[in-house]
Amino acid sequence: MRHIIDLSDLTMEEFNELYKLTSNIIDRPEGYTDACRGKVLGSLFYEPSTRTNLSFSTAMMRLGGSVVGFSNPNSSSAAKGETLKDTITMVSNYADMIVMRNPHEGAAKAASMFSEVPIINAGDGGHLHPTQTLADMTTILRLRGSADNMKIGLCGDLKYGRTVHSLIHFLANYKNV
């Protein structure tokens, strides 16, 4: 079982393998239309999301899998006080993996301790957003070939912006950024 909570948990070798697979899927999507046939993604979005939520759902369906879950915690038992532990324990009985966005820092890490299936962190508070960093790095590497010797400007909410935090931490793996 492999969670994606924080990209610092991946070695550069693991990241490079993931990048190669991602590039192959982008270049030859027809070869992956059944890659997730029979698999179910549990999608748990405890806070609003349009792009991230739809990108995961669409990707899973394009890979031949299906999606269950919620995009509004008020439509789940969380509205009645169900704990994160109870929700994750229950959903991991139905899904083969869980993607989760939560407004609380560390929620994805906590979920990984209760889950019987891999947890993918789609944003936890102002902490991290590793899947956005994977998308950003895919764009950078496909356009430039490397992130070495790159100058990058970051703007927006630099203190609470989870996308910025994840990207900065990951770019530290490259030379002269």
Number of Cβ within a 10 Å radius of residue 57:
18
Which residues are known catalytic residues?
A: 51-52, 80, 101, 129
Q: What is the token pair recorded at 158?
A: 């630099």
- Whole-angstrom Cα distance, residue 56 to residue 59? 5
Residue 120 zone, left/alpha/beta (φ > 0; ψ -120 to 50; rest) = beta
Do the beta carbons of residue 126 and residue 161 sit within 8 Å? yes
- Tokens 């990108």 — which residue? 55
The residues, any chain, with a CB within 8 Å of residue 95's CB and separated by 6 or more, are: 40, 41, 42, 68, 69, 117
Give the containing element (helix H, strand E) for 119.
Answer: strand 119-124
